[in-house]
Structure 1
Amino acid sequence: MGGTGVLAGTGTAHARAHTRAASAAPAAAPVRVMPLGDSITDGLNVPGGYRIDLWQKLVADGHEIDFVGSMANGPGSLGDRDHEGHSGWTIAQIDASTDGWLQAYDPGTILLHIGTNDMYRQDPGGAPGRLSALIDRITGRLPEVELFVATIIPLPFADANVRAYNAAIPGIVRSKAEAGRHVHLVEMYSALTAADLADGVHPNATGYGKMAAVWYDALLSVPGSLGLTPEGGGRPAG
């Protein structure tokens, strides 16, 4: 009994000391995450799109996340409605505006799904080069940003173009990573099928849920993207 009492008392003292230390430490700032892309990021057909389920998964895990961007939409179940998804926009259009967004919102993590509108407009074959230039612009302005680059989801009426574009993305991402940038490939195309599309272009609720799951797994695979070190500790904001 005596030994148990000593251990219990020691544990209580340690707990109090830990509580004091924790209360003295500054709270980590939420990680600024920018969902970046076109109407699929915006959530056409299902306002909020993949961001709804992704937000809920991250919050349920206790992650402090601040979605950022100049746009906002989504239901009440989406606790943070900000994003940078622009309906109808191509890679070049996103590229032309990116500097201003990055300066305004200074994201620590970016979720990039872009290229769908390039697949049925002029020069789909040049889309990989435009994507490479966009990645360079983002990582040039924010060298420490964790940039997740997704292959685009199926677009049945332009499938050959989509497949050719997606096939080029792993090599682009690899070259940026080898150059020291924090660029990560996210395989999104294989996660959805035509049955997950509401209108042949944009996902239905099930499809957006599948996208959220892929983004979530990708974020967890790179601890720094959620403000954590690989050991689970906090990473300074900035």
Structure 2
Amino acid sequence: MAEGNHNYDSETKSSRLPALKLDYNPTVDHLMNCPITVGHDNPGGDRNSDKAAIRVMIVGDSISHGAEGDYTWRYRIWQWFQAEGIPTKFVGPYKGTQPPNKPSRPQRPFAAGGKACTAIPATDGGYAMDIPEDWDSNHFSVWGRQAAQTRDLIEAEVAKYHPDLLLVELGFNDMGWFVSGPEGTLQSMSEVIHNARKSNSHINIALANVPHRTYISGRDDLVANTRKYNSMLSEIIPSWSRGDSLVHLVRLQENYGCGTDDCPAGHDGLHPNALGEFQIAQAFSRTLVNDFKIGARELGVPLIVPQRPTPVPDNIQVVSAPGGIIVTWDAVYGAYSYDLRSRIVGTEWSKTPIAVNRFDNNWVSDGMEWEYQVRTNNGEHVGISDWTQVKSAVAHPETAPGPSNTIVTATSDGIRVTWQKPTGPYTDSIEGYELFVRSVVAPGTYIKSKWETGCRAEFQGLERGQHYVIAIASWNTAGCGIPSHTWPATPGHGRPTAPLNLQAQNVDPTTVQLTWDNGSVAAAGYRVWVRQVSDGAEWQADRDDIIMNSSHGVAFLFPGTWNFEFCVTAVNGHLESGKSNHVIPLRWLGHC
């Protein structure tokens, strides 16, 4: 098989990879703060070969790089050149797509300033199985690549590979990952052109605008910035052209069926599926025909595009391990992702998206039986397979519990936390602690994390006035244990004032619903206190953890709710307010 045509890690065209061999040996490789390198895997660049051919370099990000099993729009534009009878030589340092990540056990993070590394782009992924072996797949496109990065790399690549024509698709990552706004992205793009011309003053460039992706909650900026950038690019791009070095706009966004409301031409709301690959290639071909006078007819988009194989995964295996429960299955070649659903036997299913053919369920308790199923998920516009059969295992983890006696303090722009090392089974092999900060407003979103070997940590740069919780997990030789959670804290504020207007409403004779008003912006959470009226008992917290909203139900109040008194306090870390007004529920009608 010719290099660069299919799956470079395999000598077979099988659509499945063998099941993973389970390995419990600790792995601590963790890449952090890695400098960008090019990492050439194509030693080509002889400008004397194929002298009559146009040397084409495709410069892009993940939209151009593609994933394992894709055709890519690069292949579709190559087909168009062939159909038009235009001799071309595709050039660049890479040949493949982005391969899937390798399945492995969860890895312990490194402390800041820890292991040094060099990030070499992963470019040895395979293409769709039916791509011919004479496909000229060389390119300069990398998953996650920004115009701000490419501007510093393009001069050397043009000098090495001598392209006559650049097909450039960049800019989404600059705005999508807050690298720069539309103005900064436009400046980076102008520098890409300027630096490419340093190595070839006669180079021609077809430059695409940036597509929209389906709307992400809280990212109105991305929609507005993409529109502004595309408008600015359209206005300025004529001024970038020279008589001996043309630059013309490719209206990718207008031709690509992916927008803020829906993305039928994509598989995940941004990246192209088989239809989208044709549409992007068509947009480039249109500019080549109309503006560069290369070719006679633009590429046509077929009514029926190839269907991506989406089989049910084979060979699902579920085993108990020291780190928890491990689920593996045979990798499906070209699968964009998988869905895994899990449950404790007798409970409801919970679904999790998975990128690789392994799932480690670390946060399990001893003796609990868990069930699992897996399916291939190539996106709603491509295909989702049926579920595998159900497999189960009983957990017997040897992980350590999270720390105890955590003390949290809000600082001017962050949170400081201290804790005590936990005691009990498996705590003697604790190596350190992984801390996660999450927003109370968006509980599923972890904002920052860090690794500590001591019993103290501080997070800075958090938003003043927002409420945050820290989860702390112990790592031992078996892996990561179930984390403990701190009390919530509000950076930039001190002790909160007491909640106001506490009210009690009976739900039934032994259940009461409490509501109150937030009396302080510093309040990150609340504690409900209860005592029995008849015997003058001491106040006791209704539960050990913190209530995150301003209502709470209390049940099993025998012989009746009216025999109990309630109040509420507010907390900011371990700073606690005084008690609110006290309330005693009304007697339930018909009860003594």
Report the TM-score, using the length of structure 1 for normalisation.
0.77
Residue 205 of structure 2 corresponds to which residue in structure 1? 147
Amino acid at match of 2:206: F
Amino acid at match of 1:51: R
Displacement of 1:178 in angstroms is 5.8
Give 1:125-136 correspondences, 5 Å limit.
125=182, 126-136=184-194
Amino acid at match of 1:90: Q
Counterpart-to-counterpart distance in 2, 1:55 and 1:43: 15
Q: Which moved more, 1:73-82 or 1:108-117?
A: 73-82
Counterpart-to-counterpart distance in 2, 1:130 and 1:34: 19
Residue 290 of structure 2 corresponds to which residue in structure 1? 221
Contact 2:64/2:72 (<8 A) preserved: yes
**Residues 48 and 104 of structure 1, relative CA distance in 2, 3 Å threshold:** farther
Aligned residue among 77, 83, 88 for 1:65:
88
Q: Deviations over 1:17-75 (max 9, x none)?
A: xxxxxxxxxx8521100010111111236534101211112101211111111011234
Higher helix share: 1
Aligned residue among 165, 174, 177 for 2:238:
174
Counterpart-to-counterpart distance in 2, 1:84 and 1:178: 24
SS class of match (1:71): coil
Residue 60 of structure 2 corresponds to which residue in structure 1? 37
**Residues 140 and 179 of structure 1, relative CA distance in 2, 3 Å threshold:** farther
**Residues 225 and 106 of structure 1, relative CA distance in 2, 3 Å threshold:** farther
SS class of match (1:41): helix
Q: Which moved more, 1:150-159 or 1:209-218?
A: 150-159
Amino acid at match of 1:212: A
Counterpart-to-counterpart distance in 2, 1:47 and 1:93: 25
Counterpart-to-counterpart distance in 2, 1:88 and 1:152: 14
**Residues 178 and 215 of structure 1, relative CA distance in 2, 3 Å threshold:** same
Contact 2:77/2:282 (<8 A) preserved: yes
Report the TM-score, using the length of structure 2 for normalisation.
0.32
Displacement of 1:182 in angstroms is 1.0
Displacement of 1:224 in angstroms is 6.4
Residue 165 of structure 1 corresponds to which residue in structure 2? 229
Count of equivalent residues: 200
**Residues 179 and 173 of structure 1, relative CA distance in 2, 3 Å threshold:** farther
Counterpart-to-counterpart distance in 2, 1:181 and 1:32: 15
Counterpart-to-counterpart distance in 2, 1:46 and 1:168: 35
SS class of match (2:239): helix
Query: Is 1:91 equivalent to 2:160 in the alignment?
Result: no
Counterpart-to-counterpart distance in 2, 1:39 and 1:199: 12
Displacement of 1:223 in angstroms is 4.7
Displacement of 1:219 in angstroms is 1.5
**Residues 91 and 28 of structure 1, relative CA distance in 2, 3 Å threshold:** closer
SS class of match (2:241): helix
Higher strand share: 2
Amino acid at match of 2:195: R
Counterpart-to-counterpart distance in 1, 2:232 and 2:200: 23
Aligned residue among 261, 266, 274 for 1:197:
266
Counterpart-to-counterpart distance in 2, 1:119 and 1:179: 31
Which of these two proteins has the greater Rg computed from alpha carbons? 2
Displacement of 1:155 in angstroms is 2.0
Contact 1:116/1:155 (<8 A) preserved: no
Amino acid at match of 2:83: A
Displacement of 1:204 in angstroms is 0.8
Calculate the aligned-residue CA RMSD, in Å. Answer: 2.1
Counterpart-to-counterpart distance in 2, 1:156 and 1:131: 24
Identity %: 26
Q: Unpaired runs of 5+ in structure 2? A: 1-49, 97-126, 216-221, 258-262, 296-592
Amino acid at match of 1:89: R
Q: Unpaired runs of 5+ in structure 1? A: 1-26, 227-238
**Residues 173 and 223 of structure 1, relative CA distance in 2, 3 Å threshold:** closer
Give 1:9-88 correspondences, 5 Å limit.
29-44=52-67, 47-73=70-96, 74-75=127-128, 76-77=131-132, 79-88=135-144
Counterpart-to-counterpart distance in 2, 1:48 and 1:96: 29
